[in-house]
Amino acid sequence: MRIALFVTCLGDVLFPDVARATVAVLERLGHDVVFPEAQTCCGQMHTNTGYQHDAVGLVRHHVDVFEQAMARGCEAVVAPSGSCVGSVRHQHAAVARRSGDEALAVRAEAVAARTFELSELLVDVLGVTDVGAAYPHRVTYHPTCHSLRLLGVGDRPLQLLRAVRGIDLVELPAADSCCGFGGTFSVKNADTSTAMLADKMSAVLATDAEVVTAGDASCLMHIGGGLSRLRTGVRPVHLAEILASTA
C-alpha cells in the first residue's frame, strides 16, 4: 500500500528518530512510504490554545497537501501521534466550519477519514500485530489521552507490543490517567501539570521498567522530561521505535 507519512511538526523538528522508525516499520512490511514535503503542522496548538483564526490556514494547508498525496495514489495517511491524528479527525472540520468555510470542512472530513494513528493503521488497515520487532527490555506502556479517548485505539498498541520478541511488558498502574502535558496547559498551568506528572512518574517507577513507551512524542517529551530531570534512569521510547527495533 502507498502510505503518506504525516510526520507532525514535533516529529519533524524534535523527534526525527520516531518518524524514521515509522518509515522503517512500514517499509519492512513491504509498503511504499511517501513523505509529502510541503506538510508543516496540523494546527492543534493554535486550536487548543484559542487561536482558531490562525489555525484555519494551517488546516487548509494540511488538507491541500494530503489531498494531493491521495490524488497521487496514497491510500492512507499515517502519523506516529494519536494527538495530531485526533486533531485532524475531530477538529479540522470544526475549525473550518467555525470560520464559515463549509467547503474546506467537507474536504477536511475526507482527508480525516483516510488518516490513521500508527497502531490503527497497522492493526486495522494493514491487519498486522506482529511486525517482526525484537526489543529485549522491560517496558511499560502509557496510553495517551487522545489515543485512548479521542481515537479509541483501545489495546491496539498493546497487541503490537505483545508480539515484540524479547520484550518484558509490564502494566502501568492508573495507566489511563493523563500525564499532565495537555500542550500549552503544561506551561499555562505548570504547577497543576507538574502535580499530574509526579503521579505519572510514580506509576512508571513502580513498574521498575527501564523504558516507558507511548504513541505520542509530545506526551513522552513531558513524561521523559520529568524522568530525566529527576535522573531516574528510565527513558522514553516511542512505540514506533520499539516496533522498528530488530536487535
Core vs surface per residue 144-164: b (16+ CB within 10 A) or e: bbbbbebbebeebbbebbeeb
Q: Are 79 and 40 in contact (CB under 8 A)?
A: no
The helix or strand, by DSSP H or E, that contains position 139, with its residue range, turns out to be: strand 138-141
Our CB check for other proteins shows the closer of 159 and 184 to be 184
How many C-beta neighbours within 10 Å does residue 228 have?
A: 13
Binding segment for other proteins (CB under 8 A), chosen from 120-128, 155-163, 164-172, 178-186, is 178-186
The grid cell for 226 is 520529568
Our CB check for other proteins shows the closer of 38 and 134 to be 38
Binding residue for other proteins, selected from 24, 26, 41, 160, defined by CB under 8 A: 41
| 237 binds other proteins per the rule CB under 8 A | no
Binding residue for other proteins, selected from 163, 185, 205, 232, defined by CB under 8 A: 185
How many C-beta neighbours within 10 Å does residue 30 have?
A: 8
- Which letter does DSSP use for residue 205 in this model? H
Per-residue contact string for residues 209-228; x = within reach of other proteins by CB under 8 A:
------------xx-xxx-x
Give phi and psi for 128, each to the nearest 5: -120, 145
| 193 binds other proteins per the rule CB under 8 A | yes
Our CB check for other proteins shows the closer of 192 and 246 to be 192
Binding region for other proteins (CB under 8 A): 7, 9, 11-17, 19-20, 35, 37-41, 43, 45-55, 57-58, 61, 91, 94, 98, 145-146, 148-150, 176-178, 180-197, 221-222, 224-226, 228-229
